[in-house]
Amino acid sequence: MLKTISIALAGAALVAAPAASAEQNDAQTVGVTVDDLDLATDQGREELDRRIDHAAKEVCGLNDANTGSRVPNRQLRQCYRDAKRQMDRHFAEVVEEQRRGG
């Protein structure tokens, strides 16, 4: 059974969709699976970084099709940076724990 860690990104979700925030005040969550990775290796950490990147894009709507422009607006880019920063901080602890054999 794979363990999935979910990260709540309340601030990022509100930045990503200010028009929808009246309809949706709940935090966006995204799961990142890490049990299949050996975070003590460079390869494992690189894969985790790819998963974090994908999850941050998903929760902020950067993978959604937008009509009119392919360039993400400033709010979406800020959401992505905030989400990625939050997940990077969280998973730094997970990586360190696994390096120590925990």
How far is C-alpha 30 from the geometric centre of its chain's CA atoms? 7
- Asked if 56 and 83 count as a contact pair (C-beta separation under 8 A), the reply is yes
Q: What's the predicted TM-score (pTM) here?
A: 0.68
Answer whether 79's CB lies under 8 Å from 27's CB: no
Residue with tokens 């990503």: 16
Q: How confident is the prediction along the chain (102 residues), in pLDDT tens digits per residue?
A: 344 555 555 444 434 444 444 344 456 777 888 889 988 889 999 999 999 999 999 888 887 766 666 666 888 889 899 989 988 988 888 888 887 876
Domain ranges for the chain: 4-99
* Cα–chain center distance at 44: 17
**Cα gap 75→17, rounded to integer Å:** 8
